[in-house]
Amino acid sequence: MPADVIKGRDFMPELVFSASRSSGPGGQNVNKVSTKMELRFHVIGSALLSAEEKEMIMEKLGSRINKEGELLLVAQSGRTQLTNKAIVIEKFYALLTRALTLRKKRKPTRPSKAAREKRLEDKRILSQKKEQRTKPGS
């Protein structure tokens, strides 16, 4: 699950789980069993993240973080708490990995001389084709 960015760190002690009833179809199972799992991770209070990492997470996942500085994730697609817990943990690690992965810096490039000439030739051919469509004498 965890990639190189978060390798060697165990976030499980810092994760807070809570269960509640799922919404949607499911009949009696949904009405009486609390299978929806909610994961809360206090980003600002985490001892495993550096200040830079916390800042990156706050910036990239800002829409998922509440006023208390908690990252909130929910899973309710499975039929059991255990399944939903596994799903929400997987979501958490995927989100954290994506948020902490630095984007490669773009190297500015220019089209080659051959590419420029081909583009201009294509434009000339298209222009001639359109020129031939006009009625003579107009």
> What are the domain boundaries of the chain?
4-100
pTM over 0.85: no
- The residue type found at 137 is G
Q: What pLDDT, on a 0 to 100 scale, did the predictor assign at position 1?
A: 39
Q: Are 64 and 73 in contact (CB under 8 A)?
A: yes
Cβ 91 vs Cβ 75: under 8 Å: yes
DSSP 8-state assignment for residue 65:
B
Question: Residue 36: which of 23, 53, 50 has the closest Cα?
Answer: 23
| 117-134 per-position pLDDT tens digit | 999 999 999 999 999 998
DSSP lists the bridge partners of residue 18 as: 38
In this structure, what token pair is assigned to residue 138? 């107009």
Question: What angle in degrees, to the nearest 10, is found between the helix axes of 51-60 and 81-100?
Answer: 110
pLDDT beyond 80 at 46: yes
Average the pLDDT over 12-29 and give the result.
81
The answer regarding whether domain 4-100 maps to CATH 1.10.357.140 reads: no
